[in-house]
């Protein structure tokens, strides 16, 4: 089977809000929010005695009006747990855009759920997201990404879980995440090697907007596509920090126009206002302009 990553449609994933499926009020509120994606959580945020209730809540929610312009992801419990199989059955019945598998440690974890989806004839549109939140997950990030792109090509996205990673490593929750940055960059490198997206970890203090903004800007600079969020008040900051500014969009449009000029036909490098621009920059510019178009479309819905 080919190991090349298939072409995927770009999705906006600047703000990925996690909502406990046990909280019916929070589920309904997602209709009003400006996040790009919603993770409906059946795992960590739901107590053991309320797992069945959370699944029933999701059944009811998905039977109602659809979310407009938002990607829907259901985070299930591990398939090895006593709840995982029931969660996955629910995913197959509801057909969200993706299923999020917690604590992915090795390629076999992705291959196992890929096989389950294939055996159930799940639609190709049902994708897989992976929580990378353990030392083994970080060490195996590249192997997980590679295997996921060859196992039915359903793997789309990594989500970093630093709370669990800190717990298992003893790294303290310090501003700037100095001792975590090498691991974060390892995740970014793995996803870029195999054509996936990466979502940065949650910022726990939802009242500290300055701290959230600094961490979002750092995550954006590191190459993450967006931020996993735990509170609606965090959405605006994430959308802004992982969004685009007018200067960058204008420059991208200028690059596209420069290569579209008949005089640039057959050239790999052009002179753009005294700056040499390569054709690889054209590909980047096209992606940026496409993202700007998606953001504009979100604002009109």
List binding-site positions for Mg(2+). 133, 164
Q: Are 201 and 162 in contact (CB under 8 A)?
A: yes
Q: Residues comprising the binding site?
A: 75, 133, 164
Q: Please give the Cα distance from 294 to 241 (Å, whole number).
A: 16
Question: Would you list the DSSP string of 135-185?
Answer: HHHHHTHHHHHHHHTTSTT-EEEEEE-HHHHHHHH-----TT-TTTHHHHH
Long-range CB contacts (within 8 A, 24+) of 184-189 = 184/160, 184/219, 184/222, 184/224, 185/222, 185/223, 186/138, 186/141, 186/142, 187/132, 187/138, 187/141, 187/158, 187/160, 188/222, 188/223, 188/224, 189/141, 189/142
Binding residues for substrate: 75, 133
Number of neighbouring beta carbons within 10 Å of residue 285: 22
Exposure string (b/e) for 230-247, b if CB count within 10 Å is 16 or more?
Answer: bbbebbebbbebbbeeee
230: left (phi over 0), alpha (psi -120 to 50) or beta: alpha
- Joined together, the tokens standing for residue 130 give 């992976």
**CA-to-CA distance for 25 and 37, rounded, in angstroms?**
17
């Amino acid at each position: 089977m080919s190991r090349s990553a298939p072409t995927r449609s770009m999705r906006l994933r600047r703000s990925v809000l996690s909502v406990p499926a046990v909280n019916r009020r929070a589920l309904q509120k997602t209709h009003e929010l400006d996040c790009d994606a919603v993770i409906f959580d059946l795992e960590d945020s739901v107590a053991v005695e309320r797992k069945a209730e959370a699944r029933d809540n999701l059944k009811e929610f998905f039977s109602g009006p659809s979310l407009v312009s938002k990607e829907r992801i259901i985070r299930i419990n591990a398939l090895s747990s006593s709840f995982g199989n029931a969660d996955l059955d629910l995913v197959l019945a509801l057909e969200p855009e993706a299923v999020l598998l917690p604590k992915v440690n090795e390629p076999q974890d992705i291959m196992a759920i890929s096989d389950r989806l294939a055996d159930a004839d799940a639609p190709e549109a049902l994708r897989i997201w992976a929580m990378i939140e353990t030392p083994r997950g970080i060490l195996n990030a590249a192997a997980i990404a590679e295997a996921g792109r060859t196992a039915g090509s359903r793997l789309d996205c990594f989500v970093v879980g630093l709370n669990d990673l800190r717990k298992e490593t003893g790294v303290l929750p310090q501003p700037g995440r100095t001792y975590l940055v090498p691991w974060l960059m390892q995740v970014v490198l793995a996803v870029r090697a195999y054509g996936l997206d990466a979502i940065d970890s949650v910022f726990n203090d939802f009242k500290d907007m300055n701290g959230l903004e600094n961490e979002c800007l750092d995550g954006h600079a590191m190459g993450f596509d967006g931020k996993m969020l735990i509170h609606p008040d965090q959405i605006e900051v994430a959308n802004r920090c992982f969004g685009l500014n007018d200067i960058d969009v204008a420059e991208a449009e200028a690059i596209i126009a420069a290569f579209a000029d008949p005089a640039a036909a057959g050239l790999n490098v052009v002179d753009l206002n005294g700056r040499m621009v390569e054709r690889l920059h054209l590909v980047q510019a096209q992606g940026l302009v496409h993202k700007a178009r998606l953001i504009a479309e979100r604002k009109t819905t």
